[in-house]
């Protein structure tokens, strides 16, 4: 299985501009960033953004590991995303791309 190696720049770009179809951990972190984005520029805002980048990187690595377990061991113990709520991906992408 191919394992994606993410750079901090890719993760930061994903945090600020991308959107998922479901409200999973990555999309929840992006919605937190959407709120942080509206804050005035400050050292605290920069710190929070860096922490969100770290958290999104961790979430991506966990997702890759779970996919590995499913593929390698045919693990079916998780919910496989069945219970995730849908989000309006098109609206989120439009909103996030407008602010850049």
**Per-residue pLDDT of the chain in tens (100 residues, 90 and over written 9):** 556 788 999 999 999 999 999 999 999 999 999 999 999 999 999 999 999 999 999 999 998 888 888 888 887 777 777 788 999 999 999 999 888 6
Q: Under DSSP, is residue 7 helix (H, G, I), strand (E, B) or coil?
A: coil
Asked if residue 91 is part of any domain, the answer here is: yes
Asked if residue 87 is part of any domain, the answer here is: yes
Asked if residue 3 is part of any domain, the answer here is: no
For residue 92, give its domain range: 8-98
Asked if residue 46 is part of any domain, the answer here is: yes
Asked if residue 80 is part of any domain, the answer here is: yes
Q: Read off the pTM.
A: 0.86
Asked if residue 2 is part of any domain, the answer here is: no
1-13 b/e (C-beta count within 10 Å ≥ 16 → b): eeeeeeeeebbbe
Q: How many domains does the chain have?
A: 1
pLDDT at 66 (0 to 100): 85
């Amino acid at each position: 299985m191919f394992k994606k190696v993410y750079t901090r720049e890719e993760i930061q770009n994903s945090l600020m501009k991308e959107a998922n179809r479901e409200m999973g951990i990555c999309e929840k972190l992006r919605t937190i960033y959407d709120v942080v984005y509206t804050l005035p520029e400050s050292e605290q805002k920069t710190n929070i953004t860096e922490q969100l980048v770290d958290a999104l990187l961790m979430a991506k690595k966990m997702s890759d590991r779970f996919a590995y377990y499913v593929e390698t061991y045919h693990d079916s113990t998780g919910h496989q995303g069945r219970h995730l709520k849908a989000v309006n991906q098109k609206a989120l992408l439009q909103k996030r791309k407008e602010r850049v």
